[in-house]
């Protein structure tokens, strides 16, 4: 009973705190996601100590991220992503190369070891699509050209980022396993393409079968099974679960309105998504800022992380015009939980110091906090759906 009480208490304070801060930020005309992240910082070990990043809370947060990306996928037609495929590839590629090079060179320049420099570069490669997707959804601009490029590029970025992380992790052990690396890369790309191209057709043919199922909300229940199944499949091939959830939403997007999938998924999304953003804030260790000489490094790395994504991804989207290129660049800035994952891998492998871990941690936080208000600023005057 005591254990159940602790779990319920933490769920209660996280959800209530997230919604309270979200309401405050909404009234201040700021992105609500920032309020939810700050709620996590307040409730976490650094300040009030009411919530801790344990296995249960992190698991709830991951499920929240899965449903967030699933709902975003439901609002995104596969054919729309295919139209911007070439641009998205350029955005993802340049958005990986430039941040990695700048991060690596800076950390080497301040005399850190090679492996630490590579890990910082790898952390700067990441993009947390969950942060941007939430802002785009809140602003109602998921159907715009810039939003479609961001979402498509984020999927490619995640694949490239995981490949970079796999290489870096192998380097830390002294040997790169090329066979497994190539296998994971090919599986991720082919699986993504199969879901995007064939998914809607398979779902369409399943329509008559779903109509014969007697249980209530059969289409929605089967959509949840598909969401969790694809999320699990992507975990098994070494990728992020949220990409599988996003692709599940894509496969169902053509039938989302007819089957009322968004209508049914929205309450679950409203309940679970805040836990994801709260846990981002909970994992931020504010006290580590007191480490001598650490603050200037955090500032420089964070500035480089923001500029490198804006330049790299912006150049990749240059053919869209400078306004959309700027929107895409800002949309790809947040590192969020993906940067934290890279930092955690480095720490667990004992290849980076606590100081470098703190640098990556704060870089992830600062880029996460920077993107929503900046994105809202450049999108608020967007001329409707054509943007």
Quick: pLDDT tens for 169-221. Answer: 666 665 656 676 677 677 777 877 787 788 888 888 887 878 778 788 888 99
- The pLDDT of residue 387 is 43
| Structural contact between residues 87 and 316, judged by C-beta atoms closer than 8 angstroms | yes
DSSP 45: T
Q: What is the mean pLDDT of residues 5-33?
A: 90
Q: What is the pLDDT of residues 360-374, one digit of tens each?
A: 878 887 888 888 888
Q: What is the mean pLDDT of residues 246-270?
A: 88
Q: Helix axis angle, 218-236 relative to 178-212, nearest 10°?
A: 170
pLDDT of residue 314 exceeding 50, the answer is yes
Residue 244, token pair as written in the block: 């599988």
CA–CA distance, 141 with 380 (Å, rounded to integer)? 10
- The pLDDT of residue 14 is 97
Q: What is the pLDDT of residues 271-296, one digit of tens each?
A: 999 998 898 888 877 777 777 888 89
- The pLDDT of residue 354 is 74
- Ranges 19-28, 37-46, 74-83, 219-228: which has the least confidence: 74-83
CA–CA distance, 48 with 41 (Å, rounded to integer)? 9
What is the CATH number for 247?
Answer: 1.20.1530.20
Q: What is the mean pLDDT of residues 84-93?
A: 88
Q: What is the mean pLDDT of residues 53-58?
A: 90
Give the range of the structural domain holding residue 16, as residue numbers without chain letter.
2-386
pLDDT of residue 8 exceeding 50, the answer is yes
| Structural contact between residues 313 and 328, judged by C-beta atoms closer than 8 angstroms | yes
Q: What is the mean pLDDT of residues 113-141?
A: 82
Q: What is the pLDDT of residues 139-169, one digit of tens each?
A: 888 888 888 898 888 777 767 776 776 676 6
Helix (H) or strand (E) holding 40: helix 32-43
Q: Which of 104, 103, 154 is nearest to 127 (CA)?
A: 154
pLDDT of residue 382 exceeding 50, the answer is no
Residue 129, token pair as written in the block: 């699509």
Rg, C-alpha atoms of the chain: 20
Question: 293 to each of 26, 52, 285, 352, how far by Cα in Å?
Answer: 36, 27, 16, 17
**Average pLDDT over all residues of the chain:** 83
Confidence category of residue 99, pLDDT binned at 50, 70, 90? very high
Confidence category of residue 302, pLDDT binned at 50, 70, 90? very high
Residue 294, token pair as written in the block: 């650490």
| Structural contact between residues 44 and 114, judged by C-beta atoms closer than 8 angstroms | no
Residue in this structure with the two tokens 């040997």, named with its chain if needed:
175
Confidence category of residue 329, pLDDT binned at 50, 70, 90? very high
| CA–CA–CA angle 217, 218, 219 (5° rounding) | 95
- The pLDDT of residue 385 is 42
Confidence category of residue 384, pLDDT binned at 50, 70, 90? very low
> How many structural domains are present in the chain?
1
């Amino acid at each position: 009973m005591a254990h159940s009480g602790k779990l319920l208490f933490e769920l209660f304070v996280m959800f209530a705190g997230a919604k309270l801060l979200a309401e405050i930020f909404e009234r201040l005309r700021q992105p609500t996601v920032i309020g939810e992240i700050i709620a996590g910082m307040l409730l976490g070990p650094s300040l009030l100590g009411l919530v801790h990043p344990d296995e249960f809370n992190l698991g709830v947060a991951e499920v929240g991220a899965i449903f967030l990306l699933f709902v975003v996928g439901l609002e995104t037609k596969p054919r729309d992503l295919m139209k911007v495929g070439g641009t998205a590839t350029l955005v993802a590629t340049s958005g990986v190369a430039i941040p990695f090079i700048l991060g690596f060179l800076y950390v080497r320049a301040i005399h850190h070891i090679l492996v630490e420099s590579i890990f910082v570069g790898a952390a700067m490669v990441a993009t947390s699509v969950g942060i941007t997707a939430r802002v785009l959804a809140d602003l109602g601009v998921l159907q715009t050209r810039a939003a479609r490029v961001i979402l498509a590029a984020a999927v490619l970025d995640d694949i490239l980022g995981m490949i970079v992380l796999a290489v870096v992790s192998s380097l830390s052990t002294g040997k790169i396993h090329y066979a497994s690396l190539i296998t994971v890369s090919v599986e991720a790309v082919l699986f993504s393409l199969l879901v995007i191209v064939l998914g809607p057709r398979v779902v369409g043919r399943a329509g008559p079968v779903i109509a014969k199922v007697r249980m209530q909300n059969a289409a929605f229940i089967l959509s949840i099974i598909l969401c969790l199944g694809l999320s699990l499949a992507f975990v098994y091939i070494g990728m992020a679960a949220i990409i599988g959830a996003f692709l599940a939403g894509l496969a169902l997007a053509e039938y989302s309105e007819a089957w009322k999938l968004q209508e049914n998924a929205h309450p679950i999304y409203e309940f679970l998504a805040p836990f994801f953003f709260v846990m981002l804030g909970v994992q931020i260790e504010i006290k580590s800022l007191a480490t001598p000489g650490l603050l200037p490094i955090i500032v420089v790395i964070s500035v480089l992380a923001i500029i490198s994504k804006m330049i790299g991804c912006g150049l990749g989207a240059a053919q869209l015009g400078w306004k959309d290129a700027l929107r895409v660049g800002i949309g790809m800035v947040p590192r969020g939980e993906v940067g934290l994952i890279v930092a955690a891998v480095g720490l667990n492998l004992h290849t980076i110091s606590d100081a470098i871990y703190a640098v990556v941690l704060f870089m992830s936080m600062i880029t996460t906090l920077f993107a929503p208000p900046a994105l809202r600023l450049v999108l608020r005057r967007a001329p409707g759906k054509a943007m």
